[in-house]
Amino acid sequence: MDNSSNGTIIHIHVPISRVRRSSIPLPQYATEGSSGMDLYADLDEHVTILPGEVATIPTGIRISLPRGFEAQVRPRSGLALEHRITVLNTPGTIDSDYRGEIHVILINFGHLPFVVHSGDRIAQLVIAPVAHVEWTETEALDITDRGEGGFGHTGIRRRQTF
């Protein structure tokens, strides 16, 4: 289904500024149907992440989200699949009142060093609405079919191999 034809896409205007004068692209959607925008590394020199190590990669941008929204920093599937590079605190949350430079915490789960160069696409940025909760304390909760069934409560479907 094309969300744009039924009006379900939310458009908001978000102020963005560069931390350094840079030719690095601003976050952008790769395709019309993309949920996340590509985030780019903005580095003075390349960063090598050794196997098992973590690096904080600057993006060179700051944003001013409107109240009621958050930005989520998520991994790029290609980096995860091909290089075992992912965002450590995924999804990383950027609150609407944060005004500092966005950094991405990458971890190398692979067996080889991974080099990040300035301009590399390192993560995705998803803007999402936020609901604030007002708790209502109660002695009992409503009953559901699942109840208190937790991790793995529905079992694992196994493929039969021949």
- What is the predicted pLDDT for the residue at 96? 97
Strand order of the β-sheet with 28-29 is 28-29, 37-40, 121-129, 69-74, 92-94
Q: Which residues pair with 128 in a beta bridge?
A: 70
CB-facing half-sphere around the CA of 20: CA atoms within 13 A: 13
How far apart CA 55 and CA 58 sit, in angstroms, is 10
Give the model's pLDDT for residue 145.
Answer: 85
Q: Return the CATH class of domain 13-129.
A: mainly beta
Per-residue pLDDT band at 156 (split at 50, 70, 90):
low
Can you give the pTM of this predicted structure? 0.84
CB-neighbour burial class of residue 160 (10 A; exposed 0-12, middle 13-18, buried 19+): exposed
Contact between 117 and 45 (Cβ < 8 Å): no
13-53 pLDDT tens trace: 999 999 987 899 999 999 989 999 999 999 999 999 999 99
**Mode of pairing for the β-strands spanning 92-94 and 114-116:** unpaired
Indicate the domain borders of the chain: 13-129
User: For position 157, what pLDDT does the model report?
Assistant: 66
Task: Say what the pLDDT of residue 60 is.
Answer: 97
- Check if the beta carbon of residue 123 is closer than 8 Å to that of residue 87: yes
pLDDT above 70 as % of the chain: 91
The fraction of the chain above a pLDDT of 90, given in percent, is 78
Torsion of CA 95, 126, 47, 81, to 10 degrees: 140
Instruction: List, for residues 88-100, the tens digit of each pLDDT value.
Output: 999 999 999 999 9
